[in-house]
Amino acid sequence: MGKAAKSMLLFLDKKGYIGQTVVALLQKHKSNIPTVFVTGASFDTEVKDVLIVSFKRKIPLLPDALYSHIVVVYNGEQEIFDVLDLLAKKAHETKGKLIVVVPHNFETSKITNLIKELYKETIIVYVGDIFYEKALPENSDIQRFFHQAKKEGSITVLGMGLTKTYPVHLNDVGLGILEILFENTNKDQTFFFFPKHPPTKLSLARMFQKIDPILRVDFVGEEKQEVEYTNKEGNFFLPASYPLEKRIGDVYGVMEVKDIDVVKESEDEEKKKRGGKFVFFTIYALLVFLLLPLIATFSFSFFGHRQLNLVKEAFKKGNILEAQKKGESAYIFFKGAENISRVLIIQADILYLSSFGNSMQSKINAGQKASLIASSFAASINNFLQGKIGISSLRQAIFLSQEIKTQNQKLPSDFFETGAITGVVDVIPKALGFYDEKTYLILFQNNMELRPGGGFIGSYGIVKLKAGRITDFSIHDVYDADGQLKGHVEPPFAIRRYLKSAHWYLRDSNFDIDFRKSASASAFFLQKETGASVDGVVAVDVSFAKSILKVIGDVEVLEYKETITPDNLYQLTQKHAEEDSFAGSSQKKDFLISLFKAIQAKIIDGKITHLALFQLIEKAVREKHLLFAFADSKLQDVFTANNMSSAIWPVKTTDFVGIIEANLGVNKVNVLVTRKVDQQVNIGKEGEVLEKVTITYDNKSKSLDYKNYLRIILPFGTKLSSIAIDGKEQTVAPAIADPSVYEKKGFNPPKGIEVQQETEGEKAVFGVLLIVPSNAEKEISFSYELPQKMEENAGYDLWLFKQPGIDEYPYTLIVSYPDTIRLLSSSHGLEAKTGKIVLEKQVSEDEHIQIKFAKK
What percent of the residues of the chain are helix, what percent strand, and what percent coil, each to the nearest 5?
A: 40, 25, 35
Q: Write down the pLDDT at residue 768.
A: 98
Q: What is the DSSP letter of 502?
A: S
Q: Write down the pLDDT at residue 3.
A: 46
Residue 807 in this model has a pLDDT that exceeds 90: yes
Beta bridge partners of 660: 711
pLDDT (mean) for 22-31: 81
Same fold, 430-631 and 655-855: no
Helix (H, G, I), strand (E, B) or coil at 618: helix
pLDDT (mean) for 439-460: 96
Residue 230 in this model has a pLDDT that exceeds 50: no
Give the Cα separation of 292 and 343 in Å (integer).
10
pLDDT (mean) for 468-486: 92
Helix (H, G, I), strand (E, B) or coil at 603: helix
For residues 357 and 345, the answer to whether their CB atoms sit within 8 Å is yes
pLDDT (mean) for 732-740: 95
Give the Cα separation of 87 and 114 in Å (integer).
12
Q: At what angle do helices 109-118 and 84-94 cross, to 10 degrees?
A: 40
Give the Cα separation of 481 and 386 in Å (integer).
36
Please give the residue that has the higher pLDDT: either 252 or 285. Answer: 252
Residue 451 in this model has a pLDDT that exceeds 90: yes
Q: What is the pLDDT of residues 246-273, one digit of tens each?
A: 999 989 888 876 555 433 333 333 344 4
pLDDT tier at 825, thresholds 50, 70, 90: confident
For residues 61 and 90, the answer to whether their CB atoms sit within 8 Å is no
* Domain ranges within the chain, ordered by starting residue: 9-260, 268-416, 430-631, 655-855
Give the Cα separation of 795 and 746 in Å (integer).
52
Regarding pTM above 0.85, the answer is: no
Residue 57 in this model has a pLDDT that exceeds 70: no
Task: Identify the CATH number of the domain defined by range 430-631.
Answer: 3.40.630
Q: Write down the pLDDT at residue 229.
A: 47
Q: Write down the pLDDT at residue 402.
A: 54
Q: Write down the pLDDT at residue 55.
A: 78
Q: Which residues of 586-604 are buried (b: 16+ CB within 10 A; e: fewer)?
A: ebbbbbbbbbbebbeebbe
Q: Write down the pLDDT at residue 766.
A: 98
pLDDT (mean) for 194-202: 88
Share of the chain above pLDDT 90, in %: 40
Q: Which residues contact 847 (CB under 8 A, 6 or more apart)?
A: 798, 799, 800, 802, 811, 841
Give the Cα separation of 244 and 250 in Å (integer).
10
pLDDT (mean) for 728-740: 96
Q: What is the 3-state secondary structure (H, E, C) of 632-699?
A: CHHHHHHHHHCCCCCCCCCCCCCEEEEEEEEECCCCCHHHHEEEEEEEEEEECCCCCEEEEEEEEEEE
Give the Cα separation of 785 and 457 in Å (integer).
36
Q: What is the pLDDT of residues 755-791, one digit of tens each?
A: 999 999 889 999 999 999 999 999 999 999 999 999 8
CB burial of residue 466 (10 Å; 0-12, 13-18, 19+)? middle
Q: Write down the pLDDT at residue 174.
A: 92
For residues 817 and 853, the answer to whether their CB atoms sit within 8 Å is yes
CB atoms within 10 A of CB 605: 10
Please give the residue that has the higher pLDDT: either 665 or 314. Answer: 665
Domain spanning 655-855: CATH 2.60.40 = yes
Q: What is the pLDDT of residues 541-563, one digit of tens each?
A: 999 999 999 988 899 988 888 99
Domain 9-260, CATH among 3.40.50.720, 2.60.40.10, 3.90.226.10, 3.40.190.10? 3.40.50.720
